[in-house]
Structures are given as C-alpha cells and as structure tokens.
C-alpha cells in the first residue's frame, strides 16, 4: 500500500496550474497551463491486487478459525470435559483473571485507576486521529522557472500548498472532475475513498471497538464477534503507512522532479547561474523546475496515534484472550496434554511415577512420558503492574467436576460460596 499512497502524494506534487499574471499591459487570461499526473491501468491493477490480497487473507483466516473451533469442540468431547456454564454478559474491566494454573481462589483484577487511564487514552487517540487528518500533514512547494510562473499568476504569493488527508482527497476528486471521464471518476474516487477509510474511518472504528470490548457487558459470542471485527479493522488501519509514504515522498520527490524537466534545460544553465550570482533569482529558483515536499506536524500526530493505538489494542486484546482462556479451558488441561508419548527429550517431558521404577531398572521398554506444553505470556504477565491480586475463596488443590461442571467456575461465576462444602464434592 505504500506504492498506492506515494502515488497519491505524487498526484498532489505535480498538480499545478500556471495562470497569466493579472497586469494591465497583458491581455486577460493570456495563457493557462495545467499540469497533472493521470493514473493508468497499471496503478489500478496494483491497487486491485492489494485489495484482493487483503480480502482473500480474511477469507482464509475465517476458514482456519472455523476448522480450529471444530477441532477444539471434538477434542473437548473426546476428553469428556464439556461444560454447561451460563453465558452471561460480563464487562472485561470487571473480570477476575485466573492467575495460577491450578485450582485456586487467587485472582487478579485490573486496578480501577487503569480504567480511567484507558478511557483517557481512547479519547486522546480519537482526538489525535481527527486532528491529524484535519490539519496539514505535508507541504508541496514549487521552485525554479515554473514556480516563478505559478507565483506570478497567484499575485506573487509563494507557490506552496498544504495538504491534509481531507485536502488531498478533495484535490484527487477535483482532478477527476477536470478529466471528466467515467473511468477517472471511478478510479480516482476509489483511491480517495481508500485513503479516507484506511486513515480516518478505520482507526476511529477500532477505537470504538476497543472501548466496547473493555467497558460494555458482552456475552461470549458477542465478544468473539467484536474481537474478529477488531482484527479485521487492524488489518485495514494505514495511518503509519500514510506517514511512511509522506516521508518517502519528501525524500525522493525533489530528485524525481529535477530529472523530469531540468534535463532538458541544459542550455539555460549559464543564464540561471548568472541571474543567481547577481541576486536576481534565489539559488533554489535558478533552474527550470523542482518540487519540494516537507513533513508537517499532523503527520507526527498520526504517528503518535498509531503508536498509542498499538499499545491500547495490545492491552485490551490480550486481556480478552486471557478471559477467553479462563472461560473455555479447564484447569486440569491447561498445563499439559493427555497424550502419552515416547519422546527422548528429557527437558520437555515428565516421567510417569508409575513407570519410573521399571525404566530405571533397564528393562529396555520406553518409559511413558507426558508432554508439557509451553505456557505463553498472558495479559497478567505483560501488564502485571496494572493488576491487583485478590483471594476470592479457598478451593481444593485440584480441579473437581460436579455433574460435568467445573465446581470452581460455578462457584466464582455464580457467587455461591456456600456451594463448596463436604456434601457437594465428588
């Protein structure tokens, strides 16, 4: 997508209009020269390929998730660990995260102050996106003989133009109106829509999705749909791509513009040098044509917004994933699998106590070993500073099931402390 955005900036860089100066000794509208870059089918094919790649990735990931869910349900049924726990809406900010990989009443909750901090960050993030798209994000200035002609037709004001996200969109649609062809309306309209959607609308929608995921009560199905929605939005969020394109354009556009016209002005070089020596022309104007681009402050606001969005998304998404693990994964199956293997890797396996003696006697038979799954870092590991430990209820040292339901889950979710007594344990 950098290629697409760089070309959008190129459209603005070479979009110039040279008008005849409004002086008494020259006829009105003596000349009017308009220069613009017109995208052709090569660019539109590249854009279409990018869109097809994105959409096909979403389709493949959707089928992958569908297959993994089916396999997970089959494995749970095979283990006989299916549970019938009520799916009640819950706020993620109020969730009590399971800290240990064992039956325990120890939980961690997010500190209340971090809920206020997250609210402020989401509000600041939305403000940065809006301000970064409204204010100018880059500036285009024309130098050389062409720049002087543009200034003469513009009451000798500097041939410089500031562009914001919306200003660039307006310029692109204005070029489509000048060309007046249906194909240009469709092609340039698609490019302008892609810019506004990916740099402005999608980040704001992602902010709304993160806010809803953290503060609003959601059932499991609703939360899964919101997580999928947020994942799709993150794939279409291009604020940092837009800023990267501006930096690349500011770095390369000067050399490209010089190569376009100055190569054909070699015979005028002595004249330009003399005019610059005697102070008639500025040094940067002693040439035929050059375009300069500079990065404005709004671009850095978008950079700050993209960095802030990354950390806020990391905070909320990792919390949602751990909550999903708390709700769906039985404690007895968190740390290891139920499959006995004959692997030789001693550092990745644990010997069965019943087989330890026979193996040490050198019977020659491979000892049964249980494979330990690596434990990936979770929300409570990454953001331990934002949580506080709480002891809710004393529970037995091992996970116990009563009528097919995890007793610990039932006690903590329903608040039935008196449920745990000597008469209810199997």
Whether residues 129 and 262 fall in one domain: yes
230 pLDDT more than 50: yes
Share of the chain above pLDDT 90, in %: 35
351 pLDDT more than 60: no
Which of the listed residues 267, 299, 328 is the one where a domain comes to its end? 328
* Mean pLDDT of the region 16-28: 76
Q: Which of the 8 DSSP states describes residue 25?
A: T
- 202 close to 236: Cβ distance less than 8 angstroms: yes
For position 397, what pLDDT does the model report?
42
415, part of any domain: yes
Whether residues 423 and 302 fall in one domain: no
Q: Would you list the DSSP string of 323-387?
A: HHHHHHS-GGGTSEEEEEE----GGGEEE-HHHHHHHHTT-SSPPPEEEEPP----HHHHTGGGE
Cβ count within 10 A of residue 71: 10
Instruction: Copy the structure tokens of residue 322.
Output: 């751990």
Whether residues 411 and 284 fall in one domain: no
- C-alpha distances in angstroms, 199 versus 82, 128, 255, 302, 313? 44, 12, 28, 9, 17
62, part of any domain: no
Dihedral of the alpha carbons of 269, 272, 276, 277, in degrees to the nearest 10: 60
Separation between Cα atoms, residue 234 and residue 209, nearest integer Å: 11
49, part of any domain: no
Confidence label for 324 from pLDDT (cuts 50, 70 and 90): confident
For position 237, what pLDDT does the model report?
93
Range of the domain at 316: 2-39+83-328
227, part of any domain: yes
Whether residues 306 and 426 fall in one domain: no
Separation between Cα atoms, residue 108 and residue 380, nearest integer Å: 8
| pLDDT tens-digit series, residues 144-193 | 778 788 777 777 777 788 999 999 999 999 999 988 888 889 999 999 99
Find, among 319, 315, 379, the residue nearest to 94 by Cα: 319
Which of the listed residues 328, 351, 378 is the one where a domain comes to its end? 328
Whether residues 424 and 306 fall in one domain: no
Whether residues 214 and 310 fall in one domain: yes
Whether residues 321 and 412 fall in one domain: no
Find, among 365, 323, 294, 305, the residue nearest to 138 by Cα: 294
54, part of any domain: no
Whether residues 22 and 164 fall in one domain: yes
48 pLDDT more than 60: yes
Whether residues 274 and 406 fall in one domain: no
Whether residues 292 and 415 fall in one domain: no
Domain count, the chain: 2
| Residues 6+ positions from 139 with CB-CB distance below 8 Å | 160, 161, 162, 163, 293, 294, 296
387, part of any domain: no
Which of the listed residues 290, 312, 328 is the one where a domain comes to its end? 328
Separation between Cα atoms, residue 425 and residue 423, nearest integer Å: 6
For position 280, what pLDDT does the model report?
75
Higher-pLDDT residue of 284 and 181 is: 181
Separation between Cα atoms, residue 231 and residue 205, nearest integer Å: 12
Radius of gyration of the chain (CA): 32
57, part of any domain: no
- 220 close to 33: Cβ distance less than 8 angstroms: no
- C-alpha distances in angstroms, 102 versus 98, 327, 372, 400? 9, 14, 15, 11
Whether residues 416 and 300 fall in one domain: no
3-state secondary structure of 278: coil
231, part of any domain: yes
Find, among 71, 120, 114, the residue nearest to 93 by Cα: 114
């Amino acid at each position: 997508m950098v290629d697409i955005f760089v070309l959008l900036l190129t459209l603005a860089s070479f979009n110039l209009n040279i008008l005849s100066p409004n002086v008494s000794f020259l006829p009105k509208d003596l000349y009017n020269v308009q220069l613009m870059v017109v995208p052709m089918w090569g660019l539109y094919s590249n854009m279409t390929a990018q869109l097809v790649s994105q959409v096909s990735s979403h389709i493949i990931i959707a089928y992958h998730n569908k297959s993994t869910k089916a396999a997970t349900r089959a494995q749970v049924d095979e283990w006989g660990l299916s549970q019938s726990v009520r799916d009640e809406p819950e706020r993620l900010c109020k969730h009590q995260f399971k800290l240990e990989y064992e039956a325990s009443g120890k939980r961690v909750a997010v500190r209340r102050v971090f809920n206020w901090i997250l609210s402020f960050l989401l509000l600041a993030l939305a403000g940065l996106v809006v301000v970064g798209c409204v204010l100018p994000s880059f500036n285009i200035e024309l130098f050389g003989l062409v720049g002087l002609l543009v200034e003469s037709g513009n009451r000798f004001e500097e041939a410089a133009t500031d562009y914001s996200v919306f200003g660039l969109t307006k310029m692109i649609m204005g070029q489509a109106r000048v060309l007046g062809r249906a194909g240009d309306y469709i092609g340039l309209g698609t490019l302008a829509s892609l810019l506004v959607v990916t740099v402005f609308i999608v980040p704001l929608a992602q902010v709304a999705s993160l806010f809803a995921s953290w503060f609003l009560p959601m059932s499991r199905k609703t939360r899964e749909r919101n997580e999928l929605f947020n994942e799709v939005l993150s794939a279409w969020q291009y604020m940092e791509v837009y800023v990267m394109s501006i930096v690349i354009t500011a770095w390369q556009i000067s050399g490209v513009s010089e190569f376009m016209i100055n190569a054909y002005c070699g015979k005028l070089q002595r004249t330009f040098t003399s005019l610059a020596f005697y102070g008639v022309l500025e040094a940067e104007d002693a040439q035929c044509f050059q375009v300069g681009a500079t990065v404005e402050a709004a671009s850095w606001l978008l950079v700050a917004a993209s960095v802030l969005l990354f950390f806020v998304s990391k905070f909320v998404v990792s919390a949602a994933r751990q909550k999903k693990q708390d709700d769906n994964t039985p404690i007895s199956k968190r740390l290891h699998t139920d499959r006995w293997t004959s692997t030789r890797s001693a550092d990745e396996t644990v010997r069965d106590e019943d087989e330890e003696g026979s193996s040490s006697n050198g019977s020659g038979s491979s000892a049964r070993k249980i494979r330990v799954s690596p434990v990936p870092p979770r929300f409570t590991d990454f953001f331990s500073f934002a949580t506080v430990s709480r002891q809710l209820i004393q529970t037995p040292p091992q996970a116990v099931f009563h009528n097919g339901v995890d007793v610990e889950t039932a006690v903590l979710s329903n608040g039935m402390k008196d449920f745990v007594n000597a008469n209810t344990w199997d």
